[in-house]
Chain A
Amino acid sequence: MNTYEPIIGLEIHVELKTKSKMFCGCPASHFGKKPNTQTCPVCLGLPGALPVSNKKAIEWTIMLGLALEGNIAEISKFDRKHYFYPDLPKGYQISQYDQPLCRGGTIGDIRIHRVHLEEDTGKLIHTNNTTLVDFNRSGVPLVEIVTEPDIHSTEQAREFLKKLHQTVRYLGISDADMEKGSMRLEPNISVRKTGEKGLPSYKVEVKNINSFRFVEKAIHFEIERQMTLLNNGEKPKQETRGWSEGKGITISQRSKEEAADYRYFPEPDIPPMRFSRHQISDVRRQIPELPDAKRQRFIKTYSLSEYDANLLTETRALADFFEECVKIGKVPAKKLANWIINKKPDMENVLPAALVKSILEAGNVISISDDVIKQILSDNPKAVEDYKKGKQQALMFLVGAVMRQMKGKGSAEEIKKMLLSKLQ
């Protein structure tokens, strides 16, 4: 039996949450809206209508490019991508072909190939015997991020996507909500014999994936399917396949022979864009502190553990909440960090000042009774066993259980210490 190495590239679409659509004044927020209530001649592609670019969307795409450490184009343009589909009102999508807003960039070890801006299509709604079109989504700004084929495992893919998702949310340019379709993923998967260099002569694109979990399942399925074919002496076909969550498999949709010729050409209705260094540095200045930098700073400034800093910087909102509490100055940062991580206060409804107050009221010294510790240990034999096998996470689980029992009072550090003394 041969051993194989997966080669995976990702194509990610992210809907920007600008106020208006990419080329007209209609609202861009479309989720849950009554069909065809947010349309105009431009996004319906009526005869004579013309696109006018949304500056904010262009700026945000540049911002994302910069955040991913890519190179922003000095000259960029839009192109028309042609295909016929009922949800595409003009018969072409305004996209970018050979001069994307951004080339290059990285997330960790994964290189970004390019980042470009385009418009979203309408949506088909299939009912029993008819298909209807909703154009509310037509023309919503859509950023496409394409990676190099640098990913070699589902774990790596997951890590990459998590990081990208976090970055986009930090920048505040998209909700990147997979369930609502504001972030969509298309992996390209192939496998090669371990040790071989160069890319395989085929790749399989998988569409129709609407959660992080499914992308892992789909990639995993494809790797297995392709390895089986190769072991049987067959070469997998270059094709587009769809993920069927119901069946847990991918299904062939379109083969290479039927691949479309999109007949790209420069969009004549929109003059090319030119960006000065000054404009780009203006956008750079708008970039907030990103997760990695924030985590490092938290570790350094507040003497937090890497683990705690990681948790606190998971979202920008949580990190900001933590820092606002710190700024009040009455409770040490470390203690605040423990409290926030363990108690998970409802940030929407609890003001930082209120949280600080309740911490102070709870008293500096909380006596943690031996009884509680003992009870939790005897209630969770599996966690105890896991910990003894070396699973550090099990300890955190027990800490959490004690804190719940104590209704959030007591410091996690102290509980941890007490648990450790009993476990050894």
Chain B
Amino acid sequence: MLADFSIIELAKKMRSKEISPMDVITEIYETIGKIDKKINAFITLVDKEQALRIAQKRAKTREAARSPLFGLPYVMKDAYVTAGVRTTAASKVLDDFVPPYSATVHRKLEDAGAILIGKMNMDAWGHGASTENTDYGVTKNPWDITRSAGGSGGGPAAAIASRLAIFAIGEDTGGSIRNPAAWCGITGLKVTYGRVSRYGAIAYASSLDSVGPTAKTAEDCAHVLEVIGGKDPYDATSSPQPVVRYSGELQGSIRGKKIAFPKEFFKEGLDGEIRKAIVEARRVFESLGAVVEDVSLPMLEYGVPVYYILAPSETSSNLARYDGIRYGNERELFTQETKRRIMTGTYALSSGYYDAYYKKAQKARSIFIEKYTDILQHFDAILAPVTPGMPPKFGELLDDPVKNMMADLYTVTVNIVGLPSLALACGFGSSGLPIGMQLIGRMFSESTLLALGHNYQKTTPWHKKHPGVLA
């Protein structure tokens, strides 16, 4: 199928007129027609005729130096405002909200000629790790539809695994790109805080939110990041750090690259099959010439408590605007999980509790920054699991808020520090479910992570496998 090709292969075929943007759109909508009813990845699907009209317009445009994304259909987590296209954040509170403006990331992709075909399912407002906390029905894992696709961005990840789009834009606050990428067997990049503009990304926790690509491969992620990265005058926290030509730096050898293997990530609580797959991945990196060394990253266990003070505090503030006056829908419509986080955050910020909770968590944040910096001074990347367990059955996380929080153990500290991290498939369990790993890097070292991922994917088959739902 066309959707199996990489972004650069599709771009070549389009340039040589072997295929047209309409061909890709047509195939994708056919797949969506067959598959999405089984997995429920979309909240809003753009009308096919409209997508085709845009494809035809693109086909007629001649641009000498056009982006490889030109004419390619993509989807976004429903956490981005898209002018004229309903945007819900998977919450009934915004059920009928059609934004009058577009997120910077959406605008940049439109300018590059990519074609938005859908807004994807997620845990409402990003609150969750299983896409069960949505008001639009759960998203099912394409490898086993009795299981979760992960979260909060289960929709975009399941769509990429099922070939319902060429690439997707996710949003990662505590693992929302990486967790579903791992559980759906695809590649997702959590960028450095400030690398991509957050303007128009519906805020969950502003100091942790990051905008990044989800795709089949590290190479595809590199092409997308080239388009969406950069300083934005509308986001004061976006960085002036220049955008590298990430795709041009993929091919370099990773010989001599130093990778840290932090023992705290492999302690009790980690699923045996995941441990095995990542130890195997370590050998692959070593065979490619990288040097992997065991290190210690203490404090990991404090990541979840610190995250679950900072993120709810910020979310209690960010969701205050949905007061039932301007968007028409009452706050009662928030889900249990969202109410829990608003309550927790409100408490943590209250006078008399602020010092003990929020302020202390911010202090811990500084310590996390120190600890990660210590290791990354000596290493190019840290190799770690993404989740402690395999994709859960529905209800497993929803019924157990603590287990739900622990699913974030390996991902949240990366957001607390603001580092980039690439999640990618590194094997399959005995039940046929995908296993993911993550490569955590220094601030703004996306090119290193993408090159490591690309080299790994050149020698491994995991990213090419089709999920059961496509059979």
Residues on A close to B: CB < 8 A? 41, 44-53, 80, 82, 84, 86, 89-92, 133, 261, 263-265, 268-271
Whether B323 lies near A41 (C-beta < 8 A) is no
Whether B326 lies near A268 (C-beta < 8 A) is no
Whether B236 lies near A270 (C-beta < 8 A) is yes
Chain A: which residue is nearest B319 at the CB level?
A91
Q: Given A265-B358, A269-B206, A269-B237, is A47 in contact with B94 using a C-beta cutoff of 8 Å? A: yes
Q: Could you tell me the distance in whole angstroms from the C-beta of B202 to the nearest C-beta in chain A? A: 5
Whether B199 lies near A49 (C-beta < 8 A) is yes
Which residues of chain B from 373 to 424 have a CB within 8 Å of any chain A CB?
none
CA A257 to CA B237, docked complex, whole Å: 38
CA A84 to CA B323, docked complex, whole Å: 8
Which residues of chain B from 278 to 329 have a CB within 8 Å of any chain A CB?
313-314, 316-317, 319-321, 323, 325-326
Q: Chain B interface secondary structure, helix, strand, loop or mixed?
A: loop
Q: Which of B94, B97, B200, B317 touches A92 (beta carbons < 8 Å)?
A: B317
- 21 inter-chain pairs at a CB distance below 8 angstroms, sorted by A residue, are A44-B326, A46-B81, A47-B87, A47-B94, A47-B203, A48-B81, A48-B99, A48-B103, A49-B200, A50-B198, A50-B235, A50-B236, A53-B236, A91-B321, A91-B323, A133-B325, A263-B316, A265-B358, A268-B237, A269-B237, A271-B237
CA A91 to CA B326, docked complex, whole Å: 12
Q: Which of B203, B313, B323 touches A48 (beta carbons < 8 Å)?
A: B203
Q: Could you tell me the distance in whole angstroms from the C-beta of B46 to the nearest C-beta in chain A? A: 19
Whether B358 lies near A47 (C-beta < 8 A) is no
Q: Does B5 contact A (CB under 8 A)?
A: no
CA A89 to CA B320, docked complex, whole Å: 9
Q: Does B351 contact A (CB under 8 A)?
A: yes
Residues on B close to A: CB < 8 A? 80-81, 87, 89, 94, 97, 99-101, 103, 198-203, 205-207, 233-237, 313-314, 316-317, 319-321, 323, 325-326, 346, 349-351, 354, 358
Whether A91 lies near B87 (C-beta < 8 A) is no
CA A46 to CA B321, docked complex, whole Å: 8
Chain A: which residue is nearest B87 at the CB level?
A47
Which residues of A have CB within 8 Å of B94?
47
Which residues of A have CB within 8 Å of B100?
41, 46
Whether B321 lies near A52 (C-beta < 8 A) is no
Chain A: which residue is nearest B208 at the CB level?
A268
Q: Given A263-B349, A268-B206, A270-B236, is A90 in contact with B199 using a C-beta cutoff of 8 Å? A: no
Q: Chain A interface secondary structure, helix, strand, loop or mixed?
A: loop
Which residues of B have CB within 8 Å of A269?
206, 235-237
Which residues of B have CB within 8 Å of A261?
350-351
Whether A48 lies near B202 (C-beta < 8 A) is yes
Q: Which of B202, B233, B314 touches A47 (beta carbons < 8 Å)?
A: B202
Whether B236 lies near A271 (C-beta < 8 A) is yes
Whether B236 lies near A51 (C-beta < 8 A) is yes
Q: Given A269-B237, A270-B236, is A48 in contact with B317 using a C-beta cutoff of 8 Å? A: no
Whether A48 lies near B206 (C-beta < 8 A) is no
Whether A45 lies near B317 (C-beta < 8 A) is no
Which residues of B have CB within 8 Å of A264?
349, 354
Q: Could you tell me the distance in whole angstroms from the C-beta of B361 to the nearest C-beta in chain A? A: 11
Which residues of A have CB within 8 Å of B235?
50, 52, 269
CA A90 to CA B206, docked complex, whole Å: 14
Q: Could you tell me the distance in whole angstroms from the C-beta of A184 to the nearest C-beta in chain B? A: 24
CA A90 to CA B80, docked complex, whole Å: 17
Which residues of B have CB within 8 Å of A84?
320, 323
Q: Which of B87, B317, B325 touches A80 (beta carbons < 8 Å)?
A: B317
Q: Could you tell me the distance in whole angstroms from the C-beta of B85 to the nearest C-beta in chain A? A: 13
Query: Quick one: which of A50, A92, A261, A264 has the most chain B CB within 10 A?
Result: A50
CA A84 to CA B325, docked complex, whole Å: 11
Whether A47 lies near B321 (C-beta < 8 A) is yes
Which residues of B have CB within 8 Å of A48?
80-81, 99, 103, 198-203
Q: Could you tell me the distance in whole angstroms from the C-beta of B207 to the nearest C-beta in chain A? A: 4
Q: Which of A47, A52, A89 touches B236 (beta carbons < 8 Å)?
A: A52
The 7 closest A-B pairs by CB, nearest first: A91-B320, A268-B207, A263-B349, A268-B206, A48-B200, A47-B202, A48-B81
Chain A: which residue is nearest B89 at the CB level?
A47
Whether B99 lies near A46 (C-beta < 8 A) is yes
Q: Could you tell me the distance in whole angstroms from the C-beta of A112 to the nearest C-beta in chain B? A: 25
CA A133 to CA B325, docked complex, whole Å: 10
Chain A: which residue is nearest B358 at the CB level?
A265
CA A133 to CA B200, docked complex, whole Å: 24
CA A86 to CA B317, docked complex, whole Å: 16
Which residues of A have CB within 8 Å of B207?
268
